[in-house]
Amino acid sequence: MRLNKSVIRIFLSLFCFWSSPFLFGQNEQEKFVLSGSVVEKFTGEPLLGVNILILSQENGTFTNEKGVFSIELQKGPYQVRFSALGYGTVQKEIFLERNMTLNIVLERTAENLEKVVIEENVERQKIDEPQMSVSTLTSETIKQVPAVLGEVDVIKSLLLLPEITNTGEGSSGFNVRGGSAGQNLVLLDDARLYSVSHLFGFFSIFNPEAVESVKLYSGGIPPRFGGRISSVLKIDQKEGNKEEFKGSGGIGVVSSRLLLEGPIIEDKMSFLVAGRSSYAHLFLPLFGLDNTAYFYDVNTKLSYELDENNNLSFSGYFGRDVFEIEGSFRNDFGNTALSVHWEHEYSENLVGNFSAAYSRYDYGLDLAFVGFVFDSGIEDFSLKYDFQKEFSNDFAIRYGLGTIYYQFNPGKIEPSSDSSGINPQKLTDKYALEGAVFAEANWDINENISVLGGLRFSAFNRLGQDYLNTYENGNPIIFNENLGIYQKAEPTGQITYDRSESISLFSTLEPRISLAYQLNSKSSIKIGYQRMAQYTHLISNTSAPTPFDVYAPSGKYIEPQLSDQISLGYFRNFEGFSFSAETYYKNTQNLLDYIPGADLIANNAIEQVLLSGEARSYGLELLFRKTTGNLQGWISYTLSKSEQRTPGRNPAEPGINNGEWYNSPWDKTHDISVTGTYRLSDKWTFGANFIFQTGQPATFPNGQYELGGLVVPVFGARNSSRLTAYHRLDISATLTPNRNEGRSWQGEWVFGIYNVYNRMNAASISFGQNEDTFENEALKLSIFGIIPSVTYNFNF
């Protein structure tokens, strides 16, 4: 009951904040800024969402994700109360006659409750802020969502939210508002990640132990982000505990994880190291198999508070997948990401953020039975600096610039032994420099209207490389009208450019704006528009990306992708509930498509198989969320359409699919998720998910023919059929034993059942000949039937 009361209080104070006359600035009296930070006593971690209440004023604010708050007040005496659910309350009396800083330490009062309050403010709707189309999940929520094989999964949890989907169980990547997987910007702290999947998509690469929160922007994307046109997935790693040495971890069916954190210099510097690894491969030798298949990842973070005005952090991520069939096949791939972030407070209301990052994705394949080794990858170095300046409580700006240097390695082939018949070959490396300047403002125009808007100017310089093919009329792909097929054009020559030369230069002005109109203290309407540009392209001709897909830069033959999106939403908070309804329309230009039979792997002239098309998507997303109480969770429903087309370049050409619109592989008309957790007692917590989705688009044959011993299917319009509807129910129960009380080792057992009623959902339907009867048949592939699991989690 205490819980509910506190929650209501937070609600009330939030609304009070908005109805306060203070905001109108009627008074001419001198104003000062009261700012500071709130940290947790034992961990030293910044506390988010602490309620700061100015008692005499019925006025207040909250701390942000860095535990920092700031409020402008008139000169005078105040009583300031700091409170957060699950923490003791601290009250301070101050006399404000100049700008003042308060650093507050809050102590935990009851175990486990603090997590709730953090979620409270992060995950619920912020009706007053113009930012829309953003979804946040905390590590705690992610851990409560029942998962296949008990493997808690960041991306799979996000799939339960309205705007995000994928191409089915066990597929890699994710799709936001109809966009392809290669259109998502994934940032781990400040570094870009190029692949988000382990085991070809069965698990995502983020160790939930090391993740503080994930935030997905699908619309109204702030100008400080750019480079990908569909979404921004921002994953913040946890900061190490600055007060004492702590650990946590879990032992699961597929993988186990361990996190260690603690102070290096008490109160000043902390470290965090988290590791996760699968271990099924350890048992393969027991079956006499010299094969192996495993993944692992390591997350690290070093946080250093130099002084009151300077915070420094270093983050590192290293993840890898390895598959090996003894003596004949080895495949390994993964991301490496390193970043440094320096936050400097110039003054009370001017903060500078510097970040530098290095990111690399590489893919290696050793096909010993064919006799070659193949390596490919992409690397980038980025620098970014921005300023956050707060002029008043009503007006703040953020501006800055950033640059990224890319190096693309489309592949290198080498013979793996002396007896190999393979010739060494290096596909031409490509280089590019991307830059952007941006400025955004967050302005509360009046009591009801606030706006977040700005401009991003991005530019992309494709730098010189060796051996760039030239073609007659600059056309690398020709249409053979006689045969009715696209063919690769014969290069007329090759140009080698100096590294410092520019082959092509692109630039885009990307306006972004979101506007919130507050109808009353509990509801608001928001509208947003964004234009985004993407200069690097994931070259992938499959429904979901594969580990060996390469990125290619825009240049002479590939134009940047551009997308425009408008979104409109209604947001409402009830006591303990929030509701949102959003609609959007998104249009994408210069989307790459591939001619039939295009060979994308180790292709040194990829331009010979590319055509340019467009995509459009639109939808309605409803989210009803309960964020307090013993029962928490949400219901989401999405009605959407996502399609693309690639018309011929002139009337004589058919383009792809005869130039007609066709469904994206991830187009699902209806998508419903219900997810909930119920806390029965201190001992037991239960969770459940139910998911229903329209079956994925598929292309079924509408005929067959025989040719030289082959049975060839005849396909009609692309993606014009559908698999059967997808649905399943997952449940979990978490047992926290009583004996945890009063000891440092805290353990819990999570029992889960994925797909409780064992629905054999179709992941695909493939058409082929039966091996015995040689008759044609359709085979439905189901990936996960009912799967029970047990996981043990611990903290110490």
Site for other proteins in 194-223 (CB under 8 A): 199-202
CA distance 143 to 128: 29
Q: Does 766 bind other proteins (CB under 8 A)?
A: yes
Q: Does 484 bind other proteins (CB under 8 A)?
A: yes
CA distance 535 to 500: 19
Interacting residue with other proteins among 502, 785, 788, 796 (CB under 8 A): 785
Q: Does 279 bind other proteins (CB under 8 A)?
A: no
Q: Is 109 exposed, middle or buried (0-12, 13-18, 19+ CB in 10 A)?
A: middle
Beta carbon nearer to other proteins, 369 or 796: 369
Q: Does 282 bind other proteins (CB under 8 A)?
A: no
Indicate the pairing of strand 197-198 with strand 610-626. Answer: unpaired
H/E run at residue 118: helix 113-123
633: β partners: 626, 676
- Cα 283 from chain centroid (whole Å): 33
Beta carbon nearer to other proteins, 357 or 656: 656
From the CB of 691, what's the least distance to other proteins, in Å?
18
From the CB of 544, what's the least distance to other proteins, in Å?
4
- Count of CB atoms within 10 A of residue 309's CB? 14
CA distance 571 to 125: 7
Residues 485-524 touching other proteins, rule: CB under 8 A, are: 485, 487-488
CA distance 279 to 296: 9
From the CB of 621, what's the least distance to other proteins, in Å?
24
Residues 365-384 touching other proteins, rule: CB under 8 A, are: 365, 367, 369-370, 372, 374
Beta carbon nearer to other proteins, 139 or 197: 197
Stretch that binds other proteins, among 138-146, 392-400, 636-644, 772-780 (CB under 8 A): 772-780
Phi then psi dihedrals of residue 655, to 5 deg: 65, -150
Q: Does 428 bind other proteins (CB under 8 A)?
A: no
> What angle is formed at CA 376 by the lines to CA 375 and CA 378, rounded to 5 degrees?
145
Interacting residue with other proteins among 167, 270, 353, 734 (CB under 8 A): 167
Residues 288-327 touching other proteins, rule: CB under 8 A, are: 289-291, 293, 323, 325-327
Q: Does 605 bind other proteins (CB under 8 A)?
A: no
H/E run at residue 12: helix 2-19
* Contact criterion met (CB below 8 Å) for 734 and 750: yes
Q: Does 767 bind other proteins (CB under 8 A)?
A: yes
The 532-551 contact track toward other proteins, x by CB under 8 A, reads ---------xxxx-xxx---
Stretch that binds other proteins, among 131-139, 576-584, 684-692, 764-772 (CB under 8 A): 764-772
Q: Does 779 bind other proteins (CB under 8 A)?
A: yes
Q: Does 413 bind other proteins (CB under 8 A)?
A: yes
Beta carbon nearer to other proteins, 384 or 718: 718
Indicate the pairing of strand 184-188 with strand 231-237. Answer: parallel
From the CB of 751, what's the least distance to other proteins, in Å?
18
Total binding residues for other proteins by CB under 8 A?
Answer: 94
Q: Does 758 bind other proteins (CB under 8 A)?
A: no
Q: Does 790 bind other proteins (CB under 8 A)?
A: no
- Cα 400 from chain centroid (whole Å): 23
- Count of CB atoms within 10 A of residue 759's CB? 17
Sign (positive or negative) of CA dihedral 24, 25, 26, 32? positive
Tokens for 640?
Answer: 């959407």
Interacting residue with other proteins among 575, 768, 790, 796 (CB under 8 A): 768
| Residues ≥6 apart with Cβ < 8 Å to 483 | none
Assign 163 to helix, strand or coil: coil
Stretch that binds other proteins, among 363-371, 440-448, 559-567, 582-590 (CB under 8 A): 363-371
CA distance 282 to 280: 5
The 633-662 contact track toward other proteins, x by CB under 8 A, reads -----------------------x------
